[in-house]
Amino acid sequence: MIKLKFRNEHIFHLLLLPGVILVLIYNYIPMAGIVMAFKRFSPSKGMFGSPWAGWDHFVYMLSMPNIYQVLWNTIFISAMKIIALAVVPVVFALLLNEVKNRLIKRSVQTIVYFPHFLSWIILGGIFIDILSPSEGIVNRLLQSIGIEPVYFLGDKSWFPFTLVGTEIWKEFGYGMIVYLAALAGVDPSLYESAVMDGAGRWKQTLHITLPNLVPMMVLMTILSLGNVLNAGFDQVFNLYSPQVYVSGDIIDTLVYRIGVQDAQYEVATAVGLFKSVVSLLLLSGSYALAYRYTDYRIF
């Protein structure tokens, strides 16, 4: 039976083959480099010929003076992003769902969805200009109402919140689509019954719309827990500077500086491996919670 099923579906397996090959080349074969975290790397001897260092690089990693601050920054920034992107898309989806003009609705949806496709290379330059303390439009507006200019990208107190704000601007339109799809699946007869009972739009939203969105909100939030150590390398790398390292440096940027700029490949690999192991545990836990509370499963 299994052989017959495979024979009938062999064309689909062939279609999967290019993707599987790419995953093997770019995701699995490079895993051999993990061994460098346990080696004293010597360019002359190569990665596999270098002598073993055991757990020395991990001990050194944990003794680095800024490692715990970097870990806190990563968790703090990522947690704020998770919370914000769990709330803002829902609110905007509820508001957009109330718009009856289809042309306006589709236009607004396209406009807020578009930033998702822009890279942080482009957006980094845009936000540096917009948030400039001297020439940026945001600080010009603040000055016009009597507020002193704010150095959003150079003040360690403001920088984490600037990251969250710019991330919301870029991604909330993409997250909103999931909730708009969930809203489209709500039974219209529920609203009709509510109207007959005298419920207004607010009561309908409170007692019909939101309860139908809660399972999707819980699922999206739980699944995002697996990425709590991914605070967004592209964004931080393009917006941060040395004066905000204390509040904006995350694990990925630390790995970049240690490995690429300082050429401490073994330590950078150790830090990256530590992050990957923790992320794997968090991701596994988030999928287990998603299966338990929302009956979501991958397979």
CATH number at residue 272: 1.10.3720.10
183 domain-assigned: yes
Residue-averaged pLDDT of the chain: 85
What angle separates helix 102-113 from helix 159-184, to the nearest 10 degrees? 140
Give per-residue pLDDT as tens, 13-30: 788 888 999 999 998 898
**17 inside domain:** no
The pTM (predicted TM-score) of the whole model is: 0.84
284 in a domain, yes or no? yes
- Note whether residue 278 is domain-resident: yes
In a domain, 145, yes or no: no
Please report whether residue 138 resides in a domain: no
Q: 181 lies in which domain range?
A: 67-118+171-294
The helix/strand/coil state of 154 is coil
More confident call, 24 vs 201 = 24
For residue 4, the model assigns a pLDDT of: 58
Give the C-alpha distances (Å, rounded to integers) separating 216 from 125, 173, 265, 287: 35, 16, 41, 14
Amino acid at 133: P
Count of structural domains, the chain: 1
Quick check: is 265 in a domain? Answer: yes
